[in-house]
A and B are shown apart, each in its own frame.
Chain A
Amino acid sequence: MAQAAQKLVAKVPTLISAAVTYSKPRLATFWHYARVELVPPSPAEIPKAIEGATNVIKAFQSGRLGQITVRDAFRNGLVATEVMMWFYIGECIGKGGLVGYDV
């Protein structure tokens, strides 16, 4: 039992180095994309965002939304779903747990 524990403890550094060599390029690709795609909006971009929102509302009011293709509508639906998922992630952070409220 003690020998098995000793062997495990001796293997831990090799395991850690293997994990690091495995994850380094993948982390690099993730960072390469996240630096552009996942950054929060800079304060200069917020007026553009408000402008984009008003555009969507105007399109909805003028009926232009009835003319977009199903492909585009599907893509927009996926984007909206992704935004909703960020809300649920925020809720998980706020309630301090992954499944259910810990009362």
Chain B
Amino acid sequence: MAPPVAVSPLIKTARYSALIAGIFYGKKRYEHLKPIAAEEKRIAEEEKKIREEQERIAKQLAEGKDWISHATIFKHHLQIKLYVANLMYLIFAASEDTILK
């Protein structure tokens, strides 16, 4: 085993001061970046909520269209029934007229 090397004091101080400087730098940078990331997360959450709201409205419109088509079918059905009823009344009235007269 080779004997351990006597490291020059310059290198030793440089190493440990670099270590301490790195710890400070890491801490400062983390504190600087943390609020920025929180802000971005908040903005992303709000945009997601708005997007979901819009999707919900779009879905409701799509379903609403179905409801409207059902209503038109119902209306047409009713109109047909009324027409037939009217027809029958006319026929009946006409027949009553001719029969009673």
B is a partner of A = yes
- Name A's B-contacting residues (CB within 8 A): 29, 32-33, 35-37, 39-41, 45-46, 48-49, 52-53, 56, 79, 82-84, 86-96, 101-103
Contact between A49 and B13 (Cβ–Cβ < 8 Å)?
A: yes
- Name B's A-contacting residues (CB within 8 A): 1, 4-16, 18-30, 33-34, 36-38
Name the residue on A nearest B37 (C-beta): A103
> Residues of B contacting A89 with CB < 8 Å?
19, 22
Tell which of B4, B7, B10, B22 touches A90, judged by Cβ atoms closer than 8 Å: B22
A89 to B23: give the CA distance in the assembly, Å: 8
A41 to B11: give the CA distance in the assembly, Å: 9
Contact between A83 and B11 (Cβ–Cβ < 8 Å)?
A: yes
Tell which of B4, B11, B16, B24 touches A94, judged by Cβ atoms closer than 8 Å: B24
* Main SS at interface, chain B: helix
With A29-B1, A36-B6 in contact, do A86 and B18 touch (Cβ < 8 Å)? yes
Contact between A46 and B13 (Cβ–Cβ < 8 Å)?
A: yes
Interface centre among B7, B12, B25 (most CB of A within 10 A): B12
Q: In the complex, what's the smallest C-beta–C-beta distance from B5 to chain A, in angstroms?
A: 6
Contact between B10 and A36 (Cβ–Cβ < 8 Å)?
A: no
A101 to B5: give the CA distance in the assembly, Å: 36
Tell which of B15, B21, B30, B36 touches A95, judged by Cβ atoms closer than 8 Å: B30
Contact between B9 and A48 (Cβ–Cβ < 8 Å)?
A: yes
